[in-house]
Structure 1
Amino acid sequence: MSTITTRPLGPEDWRLYRTVRLTALADAPEAFGATWADESTFPEEKWKDRLGRRNSFVAVRDGEACGLVGVVPLDSRVAGLVSMWVAPGARSQGVGGLLVARALEWAADNGFPEVRLWVSEGNDRAERLYSRQGFRRTGEVQLIRDGEDAEEFAMSRHAGP
């Protein structure tokens, strides 16, 4: 049985972050507000800058990255869970739960009592994962990207026990 671990990513991990992020955008373009075409052109400094501003965590199984999540302050009391992705071969194996738990732990440790996120309409698997972690729909809905019909909805939960 494989052991799955999570660890933070820093600016020095920019190559790994770029690889995992671009893989996520290629695998599930409908789940993100960004596109592979846009982000694939980012220079090294942009990746490093993003990691310097964002608290990102990678899941690793058997030495291979298999998931990614970020958590960013939205205001003084609310953190946003962003860029959540689990590799197809690692889904339904607890990777998503570990990543969400890591993001919630970061939020609680850094004084953010609420964590919010957006889920693409129709992404039932993601909604079930977040619901198991205590997230609930807020009623807010927005377009994923300008000029497209795809929508996403907000979910929220309080960090901590």
Structure 2
Amino acid sequence: MSEITVRPLGEDDWQHYRSVRLEALRESPEAFVATAAEEESYDEALWRERMNRSERLVAEIDGRAVGVVSLGSAAATDSAAGELFGLWVHPEARGVGVATRLVKDTAERARARGHKQLVYWVGTENGRAVAFASGMGFRPTEYRRPMGVVSEEDGDEEIAMVLALGDDPGRT
């Protein structure tokens, strides 16, 4: 297997991010609030603004994009926490460490920004995602919110899982 590389995308990479994002929305529509049809209509200015709003990382194997993740602030009032969101891995690249690499690189970037925690919202009914996040060191919190995903049944919810980024991994 070829090496997995992860790199940040800048504003001028908006078309590359757009391409990967639309592929993710088409392949895994149940995992996102937005739809491919909706985001296909976005103009260049909106895509560029998005690139500046949050940090976007792309995972590549042999120069081909196989995954993406975003890093933003968890809440406008809490600069101590970053938020990992929009994590997606191409089906052909699942199970080979792409998601692990994306999460580790995102955590390092969050730590470099001065964040003490990294928040990752996971569907409570998505056992695979909860297990993955737990395996990466994320711990469940008491925070829940309604699922924002369009295709989910009413009543489904997400749980905030938190990864401590400071010196004491037991503190969240």
**Is 1:84 aligned with 2:87?**
yes
* CA–CA separation in structure 2 for the residues paired with 1:11 and 1:33: 23
- 1:49 shift after superposition: 0.8
Q: TM-score, normalising length from structure 2? A: 0.86
Q: What's the secondary structure of 2:50's corresponding residue?
A: helix
Q: 2:159 corresponds to which residue?
A: 153
- 1:73 shift after superposition: 1.6
Gaps of 5+ in 1: none
Gaps of 5+ in 2: 168-172
Q: 2:170 corresponds to which residue?
A: none
For 1:7-22, list aligned pairs within 5 A: 7-22=7-22
**Is 1:140 aligned with 2:124?**
no
Identity %: 42
Asked if 1 retains the 8 angstrom alpha-carbon contact of 2:31 and 2:149, the reply is no
1:80-121 CA distances to partner (integer Å, 9 max, x unpaired)? 001111110101100000000011001111110011011123
**Is 1:123 aligned with 2:154?**
no
Asked if 2 retains the 8 angstrom alpha-carbon contact of 1:96 and 1:129, the reply is no
103, 106, 109: which one aligns with 2:109: 106
- 1:131 shift after superposition: 1.1
Number of residue pairs the alignment of both structures matches: 161
Greater Rg, structure 1 or structure 2? 2
Which region of structure 1 is more displaced relative to structure 2, 4-13 or 136-145? 136-145
- 1:34 shift after superposition: 2.0
Post-superposition, which runs of at least 4 consecutive aligned residues in structure 1 deviate over 6 A?
none
